[in-house]
Structure 1
Amino acid sequence: MASRVVTVSQDGTTGDFRTVQEAIDMVPLCNTCRTVIRVAPGVYRQPVYVPKTKNLITLAGICPENTILTWNNTATKIEHHQASRVIGTGTFGCGSVIVEGEDFIAENITFENSSPEGSGQAVAIRVTADRCAFYNCRFLGWQDTLYLHYGKQYLKDCYIEGSVDFIFGNSTAILEHCHIHCKSQGFITAQSRKSSQETTGYVFLRCVITGNGGNSYTYLGRPWGPFGRVVFAYTYMDACIKHGGWNNWGKTENERSACFYEYRCFGPGSCPAKRVTWCRELINEEAEQFLAHSFVDPDPQRPWLALRMALKIPYSA
């Protein structure tokens, strides 16, 4: 079945809808064909919710710098058109955008939480959905910017900024060719794998990490769950990364269970000899499982990512 295309424009003259939420609300419940929502340039100031009952939605902008979805909720202050019993409370419910519908795609969109530094947890987007992909998107905020909570996600050519735990959750994700920017001291990741049996984790593949010009002020990550798993491979790290690299979140017992790996990274922040003793520099055979797209697309009989024109995109697109 062919996909349906609708448009959003704030002035109402060139689009089918004035807000992104109105376009999402139009999508039929339990839909089986993709709806492409083309978003005209503009700053859209309202929270956005994609419910579990609405899958196969694409949000497509023209340029992420001028197509911005923004709101300013925090874990302690949530204003939303949905009730807390629907979206949750605290960090879980404060996302400017909350995606719970599967097979979601975004391209050329900025997701922002505009709360100022020091506001505490302030999520730009929470993704609680399987098989979601983001291309050339920006994720802006300070603490807890990108909440990859559940499911499998693929991010390509994206920009993610923040300070404390700004990529966090317990999904299975590959972030490829992404730019990670550390605005102030803190931790890039807080992955929350609960047991060694879980297959979740974050893989940063051929990424770039930049800072604000300072030296040795941020960690690559800390384990939100005791078995938190994060891999940085072929990634440039500038001098903002602390020599020790990783933090145990104040619990020495996490050092026995956390799976923090690096592989062939480079730059002034890549210091294998000075890293904490409980992280690992992978050898070739160990790294293979993390370097292939099968990390997020493990079933060859039912793949969800397809290769078209040298770009991995969801089959459903």
Structure 2
Amino acid sequence: MPKFIVGARLHDYGKGTPDELFAKVSADGFAAVQLAYKKCVPTVKSYADVTDALVADTIAAEKAHSIQVAVLGTYVELAINDESRLQNAADFKSQLAVCKALGAGCIGTETTAMSKQPAGTTREEAQELLCRSLAEILPTAEELGVTVGIEPVTLHSMNSPAATRHILDTMRSPNLKVIFDMSNLVNAENVHDQARIWNDMGELLGEEIVAVHFKGQAFDAEGGLLHTSLEESRTDYAGAFAMLRQLPQATLPVLREEAVPARAASDIAFMKGFFFMTDIQRKTLVVDEGGTGDYRTLTDAVAACADTPNEPVRFYLKHGIYEERPFIELADYIIEGEYRNATVLTASVGGRDPWPGESKTGTFRSETLFLGGGRAVVRNLTVQNNAGDGAKAGQALAVYADASRVLMEDVNLYGNQDTLFTAPLPLKEREEHGFRGPRENTPRLDTVQYYKNCTIRGNIDFIFGGANAVFDRCRIEPWHHATGTCYITAPSTPAGKPGYLFVNCTVQGSAAPGSVYLGRPWRADAACYWLDCVLSDEVCTDGWDNWRDPENEKTARFGEYGSTGPGSAAQRAFGSVDNDTEANAQREMLARVRAEFGVE
């Protein structure tokens, strides 16, 4: 199953500079865009206005806001039956280098509405003209390594999966792919035949799809098109995604078209509701160390899924002590224990332990449980790393949480230094080989993580990383250790991302009074917020530590609101306290994440 990346059409956010527009879509929770310069950048009146400087500004905005340009849109008429077609093809061809520079997933266009054609033009003639235009474009695309995406639309020259397959077979280019707009293949006449459309799309074009468009539409009594909200749409999204989930692509951007920014949170939650199969549709594998289940270890059960990594699966662990280090890279999986305190995954690997051929294991190879892949759900069990005090063992992860979406409910996470790592890693390590591990040389992909009713125990930076993560009604236990001082969090939040939110949590462990900091910034843009939490006297008055760099106090986004208990304070060393505007923004983020994970 592909990892679906939710995005938006950039010009639905109005006009502005790339940085202004990327900031808006990023703030609303989108991770990818369809960019059409002529539709959203005021200075671009023609493709000649797409200058090197503008492209450089766009690349900078991509990096600053962690936004991927999934589709570079051109909106040119490549199948029009008049003298403008050659210029349109030339305009499209001129943007191939731009697509390459941006690292865009593809450069795309529709294929000309038949209503725009001169009278008497047949669909077959229009398709022939499309092929002529593509013949002008594709050699350069192949030379540059750029993917060209064409989009079938019922009212256009390329109007069906079969017609699209014909075009691809005619051109025979490995760089010619398909943009799949679900609604554009549905009209009033075939609205009741969508299952066949999705089947044809999957069989004829499934592996050619490079992007998906997601919008709402219905039809009036005369069959006319009506633009609707997603909830009111007649498009069978569930059927389409049943097909899309079976595809082998590693990732697929899913782009909201006709977006209304005020509805972004609800739209994203609606869209993501189709990304994964329901629990009823997944197989269950029983793990029992005593031998009564399907497998004796979770590691063996995971290995049994190696040939079907896209098939949703549930691992049910009978109570017991499982001394193992499962490494999971599956598309959609659940790990569920029989009893929270009596179903235990445990290991004792520390960062200072030796590693074959190297001086030490390092932080990011020490984990008891690695959660990779698409969607990981963990419920009702304990994961621990018993390597011991960090002063001797070094960093020792209980969990390396790297899946695109991570949900943990009723889970105990026990460790000392670096108990829970919430991926992604920062862009660059501070010491050579400091990121040795499974994601050292891979792109830094955003993750969203939600922890509910969990207990997390440790002492130094025991919740750390770059995720957008919510800790809801969790118990945070700072644990006494050799050097005395505890740091609960060490976020490395990318600039502009939400970071950590602790809401309705309790801090109560075994540390000495005044020895615990709420957090310190692992990177300059670190973000962490505590909302309506109960803080024990273990929390010191300063609240936050700047990690020996006063400059971090200017950039770290730290704050709290509504704290109670003896560890609360009216003012901290830095960061905000009881700012209504910030608290309301955090509540909005909480609502978005809860909606995304379908929890109350």
**Same fold? TM cut 0.5:** yes
**Map of 1:18 onto structure 2:** 296
Alignment check: 8 A CA contact 1:78 1:93 kept:
no
Distance (whole Å) between structure 1 residues aligned to residue 416 and residue 511 of structure 2: 17
Alignment check: 8 A CA contact 1:238 1:268 kept:
yes
Q: Mind listing any 5+ residue stretches in structure 2 that lack a counterpart? A: 1-276, 425-446
- SS of structure 2 residue aligned to 1:272: coil
Q: Does residue 1:76 correspond to 2:76, yes or no?
A: no
Alignment check: 8 A CA contact 2:508 2:535 kept:
yes
User: Which of 587, 594, 597 lines up with 1:291 in the alignment?
Assistant: 587
Distance (whole Å) between structure 2 residues aligned to residue 60 and residue 43 of structure 1: 14
Q: Does residue 1:147 correspond to 2:447, yes or no?
A: no
- SS of structure 2 residue aligned to 1:271: coil
Which structure is higher in RCO with an 8 Å CA cutoff and minimum separation 6? 1
- State the Cα distance separating 1:89 from its structure 2 match: 5.4
Alignment check: 8 A CA contact 2:470 2:590 kept:
no
Going by fraction, where is strand more abundant, 1 or 2?
Answer: 1
Amino acid at match of 1:127: A
**Map of 1:127 onto structure 2:** 401
- State the Cα distance separating 1:32 from its structure 2 match: 3.8
Amino acid at match of 2:559: Y
TM-score when normalising by structure 1: 0.86
Q: Mind listing any 5+ residue stretches in structure 1 that lack a counterpart? A: 312-317
- State the Cα distance separating 1:76 from its structure 2 match: 2.3
**Map of 2:379 onto structure 1:** 107
State how 1:89-108 maps to structure 2 within 5 Å.
90-108=362-380
Q: Which has the larger radius of gyration?
A: 2
1:277-312 deviations in whole A, cap 9, x for unaligned? x210142232122124557649xxxx64224xxx4x
Indicate how the Cα distance of structure 1 residues 189 and 213 shifts in structure 2: closer, same or farther if over 3 A, else same: closer
Distance (whole Å) between structure 2 residues aligned to residue 36 and residue 284 of structure 1: 42
- SS of structure 2 residue aligned to 1:22: helix
Distance (whole Å) between structure 2 residues aligned to residue 223 and residue 213 of structure 1: 21
User: Which of 519, 524, 527 lines up with 1:221 in the alignment?
Assistant: 519
Indicate how the Cα distance of structure 1 residues 288 and 131 shifts in structure 2: closer, same or farther if over 3 A, else same: same
Amino acid at match of 2:338: I
Distance (whole Å) between structure 2 residues aligned to residue 61 and residue 251 of structure 1: 43
Q: Does residue 1:162 correspond to 2:458, yes or no?
A: yes
- State the Cα distance separating 1:229 from its structure 2 match: 0.5
Distance (whole Å) between structure 2 residues aligned to residue 213 and residue 171 of structure 1: 26
Q: How many residues were matched structurally?
A: 292
Indicate how the Cα distance of structure 1 residues 201 and 78 shifts in structure 2: closer, same or farther if over 3 A, else same: farther
Alignment check: 8 A CA contact 2:407 2:597 kept:
no
Distance (whole Å) between structure 1 residues aligned to residue 489 and residue 301 of structure 2: 33
Indicate how the Cα distance of structure 1 residues 69 and 186 shifts in structure 2: closer, same or farther if over 3 A, else same: same
1:104-148 deviations in whole A, cap 9, x for unaligned? 000011110011113220110011121110000000011000111
CA-atom RMSD in angstroms? 2.2
Distance (whole Å) between structure 2 residues aligned to residue 153 and residue 222 of structure 1: 20
**Map of 1:235 onto structure 2:** 533
Distance (whole Å) between structure 1 residues aligned to residue 532 and residue 515 of structure 2: 21
- State the Cα distance separating 1:92 from its structure 2 match: 1.3
**Map of 1:27 onto structure 2:** 305
Amino acid at match of 1:158: C
- State the Cα distance separating 1:33 from its structure 2 match: 3.8
Distance (whole Å) between structure 2 residues aligned to residue 219 and residue 211 of structure 1: 13
Amino acid at match of 1:131: R
**Map of 1:6 onto structure 2:** 285
State how 1:192-211 maps to structure 2 within 5 Å.
192-195=492-495, 197=496, 199-211=497-509
**Map of 1:314 onto structure 2:** none
TM-score when normalising by structure 2: 0.47
Distance (whole Å) between structure 2 residues aligned to residue 6 and residue 48 of structure 1: 15
Alignment check: 8 A CA contact 1:211 1:239 kept:
no
- State the Cα distance separating 1:28 from its structure 2 match: 4.4
